[in-house]
Amino acid sequence: MSGRPEILFPLFSDLETLQGVGPKTATHFAQMGIEKPRDLIFTLPHSGIDRQRRESIRDVAAPAVVTVTVTVGRHIPPPSRGRPYRVEVTDAKTTFQLVFFHAHSDYIQKILPTGQQRIVSGRVEIFDSVAQMVHPDHVLRIKDASEIPDFEPVYPLTSGVSLKLMTKAVDAARKRIAPLEEWIDPAQKSKAKWPDWDQAIAAAHTPKSNADFAPGAPARERLAYDEFFAHQLTLALARAVERRGKGHASLASGKMQSKVLAALPYQATGAQERAISEIATDMAKPLRMNRLLQGDVGSGKTLVALMSLLVAVEAGGQGVMMAPTEILARQHLAGLQPLAEAAGVVLELLTGRDKGAERTAKLSALKSGDIQILVGTHAVFQKDVEFQDLRLAIVDEQHRFGVRQRLELSAKGMQADVLVMTATPIPRSLSLAQYGDMDISVLDEKPPGRKPIKTAMVSTTRISEVVEHMRKAIAEGRQAYWVCPLVEESEVVDMVAAQERFKTLRAALGEGVVGLVHGQMPPAEKDAAMQRFNAGETKVLVATTVIEVGVDVPNATIMVIERAESFGLAQLHQLRGRVGRGSEQSTCLLMYQAPLSETASQRLEIMRETEDGFVIAEEDLAMRGAGDLIGTAQSGLPRFRIADIESQAALMAIAQSDARKLLAEDAELTSARGKAARILLWLMEQDKAIRLISVG
């Protein structure tokens, strides 16, 4: 697939090639992310102004926009500096005033000569019982009346870009559009009653009423679908590349799995059984698995992970489980070890700490196949780490393992199946956008025996009571977390706050009882502090949010979150999930500083009402919007100009199945519709997809 198709050249030229756009205007447009004609045609109006002709301003209830024919009467120049210039005009029923501030009188006399007729359009307001129109939007001669549309679209603007300028630029860009061959499945298009692409662009820019701004209006919906479809096509191509070339199917005998299930003190949940069977089915196929396992805090992902690793071992191969940090790798090891022993499987840990002879011994055992399951950090990616026969790689994902890293894993020649685990429940719409190249398994039930966590809200004025409550719990042998507030995104300020809290708690509870971890500590110190808490040597751990990910101390039953209103819902949910891991009743105290803003109090209320991470994620999405929810900068979440992930999740799902279907029928995109889809990818600037096709 060589360069950009010629039919799109006019849309990708410089903005300055458009009539009326000079270098200065172009820099103003650039601030809005508009750099070429293509960006203008995808910048749709967000509202409209009714400019239908009226007989008189009396036909509308002021304040309102009105368009009328008037006869120009007398001019009233300002009586003193800083006062407005006024012109009396009369329509079919009444007389009113046009008002201009900082006006040049000769200019106004030129556009509004006394005795002549003009069409004026603008906002009429009543001021001191006189009707007036301040700075009319339009003043035209009768013969130029057609320049004002009945319904005028309003575009997003920035300083230096007026509505007039924007409208002109969009019109100039639209003249460059050529009809394109259709990339949408004909059945889908006729079912949804969508117009052709060029007609959809034209309709979206010339709305007839407010109904045309609805996301479900045919022209807008079609253009939103095009964005989703291009994005999902990119993900589907990545999926096709990721799935190609797996050597062999991994068939499980089920012997080891049944040993583990027999050793469990509880019954696996229906959700766990479903996920285990989906994974085993994928692994048995000759295509590479690329699956996301999404589970809420405490939904039992570890068991599913182990069962999946056992499929690899039972099929005569090896498995690897990667964690983002050493603490988490050690925790995975602790969770998996007893179960692996029940199955009679050799499990080892490899981290950056392994040095010298010990490391060498592990590497040779790995290469000879003596180690069947390896748990480790990113150290398992190093050059000298070789497996005898790697069948499954499990990545414990903390949003730091995107599509790019998933592709790197395959580039390393590891033709293994890939399972990505995430403990962050993601609303369906976002998981489609972010993980559209993957198949998804969801754990939405909690294993039996977990007590619900009591969640309460406490004002910061009652901090001494909270410390007392803690003293009692410690005397009973419990442990507690104390999470310090997030301060303006500055880790240094966070650290100071944490150190202060550490000092006051140490003074209240005694030496050696309280530990501290924060983002500014060297990793080894952080690990050591966590180990002491893990081992029960310290009873209270004061921390900035470094502890939200995967820390598992069953004896910890109290979570205090200071200034809880400064955290997002998903973060609060993750933090709360650090307690309630043993059989004891656990408590989470949300400490807030009054007065609470409305959204903050809404967030804390939701936390008090539900422990279901998926409900919380949906609420979070509704409150904050997609970009904020996962921090667009690092999420790999595309920025759509027209489509809206939240309200159009169903459309995204259709786009995903359409994209996968098109590639299943036409992997190289060489059919007529495939070629049209290539043009769409260029139009939507999906360069990555274009590279994937040319590689293919």
367-408 confidence digits (pLDDT tens):
999 999 999 887 777 778 888 888 998 988 654 555 555 555
Query: Is the pLDDT score of 420 beyond 80?
Result: yes
- Cα of 665 vs its chain's centroid, Å: 30
Give the pLDDT mean for 350-360.
89
Is 540 within a domain? yes
Q: Are residues 401 and 544 in the same domain?
A: no
The residue out of 610, 627, 654 marking a domain boundary is 610
**What integer pLDDT is reported at residue 487 of this predicted model?**
57
Under the phi-then-psi rule, with left for phi > 0, alpha for psi from -120 to 50, and beta for the rest, what region is 93? alpha
Paired tokens of 70: 């008037």
> Taking a C-beta distance cutoff of 8 angstroms, is the pair 344, 370 a contact?
no
> Taking a C-beta distance cutoff of 8 angstroms, is the pair 584, 557 a contact?
yes
Q: What is the C-alpha to C-alpha distance for residues 223 and 317, in angstroms, rounded to an integer?
A: 47
Is 505 within a domain? yes
pTM, entire model? 0.71
The one-letter amino acid at 234: T
Domain that holds residue 525: 454-610
pLDDT in tens, 638-672: 678 899 887 888 899 999 999 999 999 999 999 99
pLDDT bracket for residue 490 (50, 70, 90): low
| CA-wise closest residue to 303 among 334, 328, 339 | 339
**What integer pLDDT is reported at residue 353 of this predicted model?**
84
> Taking a C-beta distance cutoff of 8 angstroms, is the pair 274, 426 a contact?
no
Q: Are residues 437 and 459 in the same domain?
A: no
Q: Are residues 492 and 511 in the same domain?
A: yes
Is the pLDDT higher at 153 or at 3?
153
**What integer pLDDT is reported at residue 425 of this predicted model?**
77
- For the ranges 272-281, 487-496, 520-529, 629-638, the lowest mean pLDDT is seen at 629-638
Is 306 within a domain? yes
Is 432 within a domain? yes
**What integer pLDDT is reported at residue 226 of this predicted model?**
97
Q: Which residues contact 468 (CB under 8 A, 6 or more apart)?
A: none
Q: Are residues 421 and 559 in the same domain?
A: no
The residue out of 106, 122, 148 marking a domain boundary is 148
Q: Are residues 511 and 594 in the same domain?
A: yes
In three-state secondary structure terms, 488 is: coil
**What integer pLDDT is reported at residue 570 of this predicted model?**
80
Q: Are residues 462 and 434 in the same domain?
A: no
In the DSSP assignment, the letter for residue 288 is P
Give, to the nearest 10 degrees, the angle between helix 255-263 and helix 326-343: 100
pLDDT bracket for residue 627 (50, 70, 90): very low
What is the dihedral sign for C-alpha 370, 372, 373, 374? Answer: positive
The residue out of 577, 610, 643 marking a domain boundary is 610
Mean model confidence pLDDT for the chain? 87
**What integer pLDDT is reported at residue 696 of this predicted model?**
43
Is 132 within a domain? yes
Query: Is the pLDDT score of 695 beyond 90?
Result: no
Q: Are residues 481 and 385 in the same domain?
A: no
Paired tokens of 376: 């480790």
- Domain holding 103: CATH number? 2.40.50.140
pLDDT bracket for residue 631 (50, 70, 90): very low
Is 502 within a domain? yes
Percentage of residues in the chain with pLDDT exceeding 90? 53
Q: Are residues 317 and 365 in the same domain?
A: yes
Q: What is the C-alpha to C-alpha distance for residues 264 and 449, in angstroms, rounded to an integer?
A: 13
Is 649 within a domain? no
**What integer pLDDT is reported at residue 529 of this predicted model?**
87
Q: Are residues 458 and 530 in the same domain?
A: yes
pLDDT bracket for residue 271 (50, 70, 90): very high
pLDDT in tens, 38-90: 999 999 999 999 999 999 999 999 899 999 999 999 999 998 888 999 999 99
In the DSSP assignment, the letter for residue 355 is -
Query: Is the pLDDT score of 273 beyond 90?
Result: yes
In the DSSP assignment, the letter for residue 161 is B
Q: Are residues 434 and 493 in the same domain?
A: no
Is 186 within a domain? no
Q: Count structural domains, the chain.
A: 3
- For the ranges 224-228, 250-254, 282-286, 638-642, the lowest mean pLDDT is seen at 638-642
Query: Is the pLDDT score of 628 beyond 50?
Result: no
Query: Is the pLDDT score of 1 beyond 60?
Result: no
pLDDT in tens, 562-571: 989 888 888 8
Ranges assigned E (strand) in 390-548? 390-396, 417-422, 439-443, 454-459, 479-483, 514-517, 540-543
Give the pLDDT mean for 482-503.
74
- Domain holding 270: CATH number? 3.40.50.300
The torsion of the CA quartet 203, 209, 211, 212, rounded to 10 degrees, works out to 10
Q: Are residues 408 and 540 in the same domain?
A: no
Q: Are residues 519 and 396 in the same domain?
A: no
Give the pLDDT mean for 308-330.
89
